[in-house]
Amino acid sequence: MAIIDKPTDYFNTKLYTGDGSTSRSITGVGFQPDLLWAKSRSYTYYHALWDAVRTNKSALYSNATNAEDTSTGGTLGSLDSDGFTTANVSGGGFININAVTYTSWNWKANGAGSANTDGSISSTVSANTTSGFSIVTVANVGSGNFTFGHGLGVAPSWVLAKSRDGGKWNNYFKSLGAGYTIQLPETGAKIVNNTMWQNTSPTSSVVYSHGGQLDANESYVFYCFAEKTGYSKFSSYIGNGSASDGTFVYTGFKPAWVMIKKTDSAGNFWHIYDNKRSTSGSNVVDDVLYPHRSDAEYSEARLDFVSNGFKIRTTNGDINTSGGNYIFMCFAENPFVSSTGVPATAR
pLDDT (tens, 9 = 90+) of the chain, 347 residues, equals 578 989 999 999 999 999 999 889 999 999 999 999 999 999 999 999 999 999 889 999 999 999 999 988 888 999 999 999 998 787 778 899 999 999 999 999 999 999 999 999 999 999 999 999 999 999 988 888 999 999 999 999 999 999 999 999 999 999 999 999 999 999 999 999 999 999 999 999 999 999 876 566 889 999 999 999 999 999 999 999 999 999 999 999 999 999 999 999 999 999 999 999 987 767 899 999 999 999 999 998 799 999 999 999 999 999 999 999 999 999 999 885 455 544 456 55
Domain range for 210:
114-225
Q: Is 36 in the same domain as 86?
A: yes
Residue 312 in domain: yes
Residue 103 in domain: yes
Predicted local confidence at residue 214, as pLDDT: 59
Q: Is 182 in the same domain as 147?
A: yes
Q: Which of 168, 196, 225 is the last residue of a domain?
A: 225
Which secondary structure element, helix H or strand E, spans residue 177, and what is its range? none
Q: Is 86 in the same domain as 137?
A: no
Q: Which of 85, 107, 129 is the last residue of a domain?
A: 107
The CB density around residue 275, as the number of other CB atoms within 10 Å, is 19
Predicted local confidence at residue 85, as pLDDT: 96
Q: Is 176 in the same domain as 213?
A: yes
Spatial neighbors of 20 by CB under 8 A, at least 6 apart, are 91, 92, 96, 97, 98, 99
Predicted local confidence at residue 346, as pLDDT: 56
Q: Judging by DSSP bridges, how do beta strands 145-149 and 158-163 pair with one another?
A: unpaired
d(CA 117, CA 306): 42
For the chain, what is the domain count? 3
Predicted local confidence at residue 275, as pLDDT: 95
Taking each continuous run of H as one helix and of E as one strand, the counts in the chain are 1, 26
CA distances from 311 to 162, 245, 274, 277, 300 (A): 31, 8, 14, 17, 14
Amino acid at site 325: N
Residue 340 in domain: no
Buried b (16+ CB within 10 A) or exposed e, 282-308: ebbbbbbbbbbbbebbeeeebbbbbbb
d(CA 62, CA 150): 21
Q: Is 25 in the same domain as 72?
A: yes
Residue 31 in domain: yes
Predicted local confidence at residue 344, as pLDDT: 55
Predicted local confidence at residue 91, as pLDDT: 72
Predicted local confidence at residue 259, as pLDDT: 98
Residue 1 in domain: no
Residue 326 in domain: yes
36 phi, psi to nearest 5 deg: -120, 130
DSSP annotation of 337 reads B
Residue 341 in domain: no
Q: Judging by DSSP bridges, how do beta strands 25-27 and 114-116 pair with one another?
A: unpaired
Residue 194 in domain: yes
Q: Is 140 in the same domain as 202?
A: yes
Q: Cα–Cα–Cα angle for 317, 169, 17, nearest 5°? A: 75
Q: Is 323 in the same domain as 261?
A: yes
Q: What's the gap between Cα 305 and its chain centre?
A: 18
d(CA 127, CA 206): 13
Q: Is 167 in the same domain as 197?
A: yes
Q: Is 100 in the same domain as 124?
A: no
Q: Is 298 in the same domain as 271?
A: yes
Q: Is 128 in the same domain as 181?
A: yes
Predicted local confidence at residue 101, as pLDDT: 97
d(CA 146, CA 107): 27
Q: Which of 279, 284, 300 is nearest to 103 (CA)?
A: 279
Spatial neighbors of 201 by CB under 8 A, at least 6 apart, are 155, 174, 177, 178, 208
Q: Which of 107, 136, 159 is the last residue of a domain?
A: 107
Q: Is 77 in the same domain as 11?
A: yes
